[in-house]
């Protein structure tokens, strides 16, 4: 009798979806902001892929003055999906894998992504929830 109960609970757990979702959550990238906090200008090659297919690709030149150091790109993608973002600075490539969106505590379906070239020579991604795309 206990074996049947155990098997029934296992089947119910597997079919109910209690083990979590399959794959990272689907998000829409509402905007992409590129920021240069360094003393020299930089050229960034940006590529966004979905299912190993490039859906967005552009090159941006970031200067050092306040009006040239930041670029914002609105609506780089059109639909929700599992996107990866690659940013090539010429000396390194920063890769944002779709699974990193799963680590976010953002329930909104849209996200803004900021990539910064820091003064100390490091780089980094930051995320912002966006209520509407």
Most distant pair of Cα atoms in the chain: their distance:
75
Residue pLDDT, tens place only, 95-126: 998 877 666 566 778 899 999 999 988 999 99
The pTM score is 0.78
- Closest C-alpha among 48, 34, 35, 43 to residue 101: 48
CATH, residue 105: 2.60.40
Tally of domains in the chain = 1
Residue pLDDT, tens place only, 52-101: 999 999 999 999 999 999 999 999 999 999 999 999 999 999 999 887 76
Rounded to whole angstroms, the Cα distance separating 131 from 6 reads 43
Q: Is residue 110 part of a domain?
A: yes
Q: Is residue 108 part of a domain?
A: yes
Q: Is residue 125 part of a domain?
A: yes
Which residues constitute the domain of residue 41? Answer: 22-130
Residue 16 scores a pLDDT above 60 = no
Q: Is residue 3 part of a domain?
A: no
Q: Is residue 8 part of a domain?
A: no
Q: Is residue 74 part of a domain?
A: yes
| 3-14: average pLDDT | 52
Separation in Å, CA 35 to CA 61, 78, 95, 124? 10, 23, 16, 10
Q: Is residue 124 part of a domain?
A: yes
Q: Is residue 78 part of a domain?
A: yes
């Amino acid at each position: 009798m206990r074996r049947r109960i155990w098997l029934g609970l296992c089947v119910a757990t597997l079919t109910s979806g209690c083990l979590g979702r399959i794959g990272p959550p689907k998000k829409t990238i509402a905007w992409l902001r590129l920021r240069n906090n360094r003393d020299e200008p930089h050229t960034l090659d940006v590529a966004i892929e979905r299912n190993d297919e490039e859906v967005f690709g552009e090159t941006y030149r970031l200067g050092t003055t306040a009006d040239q150091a930041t670029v914002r790109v609105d609506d780089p993608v059109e639909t929700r999906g599992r996107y990866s973002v690659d940013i090539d600075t010429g000396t390194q490539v920063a890769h944002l894998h779709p699974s990193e969106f799963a680590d976010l505590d953002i329930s909104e379906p849209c996200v803004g992504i900021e990539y910064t070239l820091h003064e100390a020579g490091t780089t980094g991604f930051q995320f912002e929830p966006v209520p509407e795309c």
